[in-house]
Amino acid sequence: MPPLRRRKHRVGIALGSNLGDRDAALREALERLLEIVEIEAVSSFYETEPVGYTDQPMFLNAVCVGTTDHSPYDLLTACKAIEAAMGRQPGPRWGPRPIDLDVLFYDDLCLDDEVLTLPHPRMAERAFVMTPLAEVAPEWRHPRLGRTAADLAAGLPAVGIRLWARAPMRVGRGFLYWGRETLVMGILNVTPDSFSGDGLLKGPGWVEAALEQARRFKAAGAHLLDVGGESTRPGAEPVPAEEEMRRVLPVIRRLAEEGLGPISIDTYKVEVARAAVEAGADLINDVWAMRADPAMAETVAELGVPIVLMDNRSRREAVVRDPRLGARYEGAVQEDIVAAVKAHLQERVQAARAAGIPPYRIILDPGLGFGKTVAQNLELIDRLGELRELGFPILVGPSRKSFIGYTLNLPPEERLEGTAAVVALCIARGADIIRVHDVQAMVRVARMADAIVRRGPPWTA
């Protein structure tokens, strides 16, 4: 996607529902709000006790922030139109409703007339408003009270409010919702030399071949597509940025034209990342977590897209090759590989935050197969849940990796069952996204695993 279009006015909107499928109602309202607000961030969903008239169902509440070209009154009118379209009927002020949208603030405007009051009256007294607002806009300052959202929320007792679902992530034309299902990312290797043998750059029709594979992936249930123009197999030679762009940009443009997103660009080079986003990519998957190119962090902050930060311990001198099983890493085993990966990812998060990348645009990847021994990869999978303590969505890419091959003594083309076992265990341990080659099979594995481990709500795991 192109960089977020910065509209004139920064706004905050509260969403609430206590009739019907409340979770679905909030998600539908967010999608509808995209027509009038360039939403930058959405809070977690919270279940809260009703206010005023208490003999009614519990509410789900959330807050989104973004920018708009609408005037305050036009924004209010548009919100009321969304409420009506979603079935809200006139009723008691504090009564139940399928959807409720309130304009919380509009820049630092103070307004009080018979139509609209800004900031929203009494919002500073309500934990079900201030808790989610402080999550996405802690620095926002109440123009009448002179206090930040974080300060106001800290002073309110969190009574009658509990986490229902983790905050969705704005990606491309919509959102990624965590916890309800495992998201599947299909791999499009626009290379001649993928370790798994699926490189698409093998003839004059490679763009169409990539498009056809993408269509198959989406039809099979893939949620995202990851486009890469450089092999990251152990010991692979780097590709110049110009050649990488020659490979990936035509594919990304066609994917975007056909609406086959969200699209991820698998690159660690700033020039490629910027060009890919301009061509239609929606997020950046950096296997070096912004370490390979020092300008990456500021570029991602400027582009306003999410980034995947991966732990990578690859060293050429540690690569061991087998003609049948492929390359793997050998070396001294860390005393605690999980603690080491966790510490490194935390440091990368801090670097991202320092560069201006907000936490709601960060995904973490433990880097299975990247500079880890077979034993270390297996331990990372078993203890994946410990990385959830960092508080970010987790992506894992186990597909056809050499640690599976060396464990089962099988070449890449025979690692489907091994990949399936790892995918299922990663889901059980808390993975949010799985990055795979065999999309149809792994979608089925994910759905079965989800039926076992994602029996919520609430969707907090």
Positions annotated as catalytic residues are 401, 435
Q: Which two tokens stand for residue 250?
A: 């035509």
CA dihedral angle for residue 252, residue 254, residue 258, residue 260, rounded to 10 degrees = -30
d(CA 116, CA 305): 33
Cβ–Cβ under 8 Å, residues 172 and 263: yes
* Separation between Cα atoms, residue 275 and residue 294, nearest integer Å: 17
Which residues are CB-contacts of 72 (< 8 A; sequence separation ≥ 6)? 103, 106, 109, 111, 116, 118
C-alpha to C-alpha distance for 195 and 324, rounded to whole angstroms: 11
Contact criterion met (CB below 8 Å) for 179 and 164: no
154 half-sphere exposure, CB direction, 13 A CA radius: 7
Alpha helices in 155-240 (DSSP H): 206-220
Instruction: Give the Cα-Cα-Cα angle 263, 359, 368 (nearest 5 degrees).
Output: 60
Let me know if 455 is exposed, middle or buried by CB neighbors in 10 A (0-12, 13-18, 19+).
exposed
CA 300 – CA 308 distance, rounded (Å):
11
Q: How many CB atoms lie within 10 A of CB 419?
A: 22
* Residues 186, 164: Cα–Cα separation, whole Å: 29
Task: State the DSSP code for 264.
Answer: E
Tokens of 395: 């992506």
CA distances, 262 to each of 52, 65, 223, 257 (Å): 42, 21, 7, 12
Q: Residue 12 contacts by C-beta under 8 Å, 6 or more apart in sequence?
A: 63, 64, 65, 103, 104, 105, 133, 137, 140
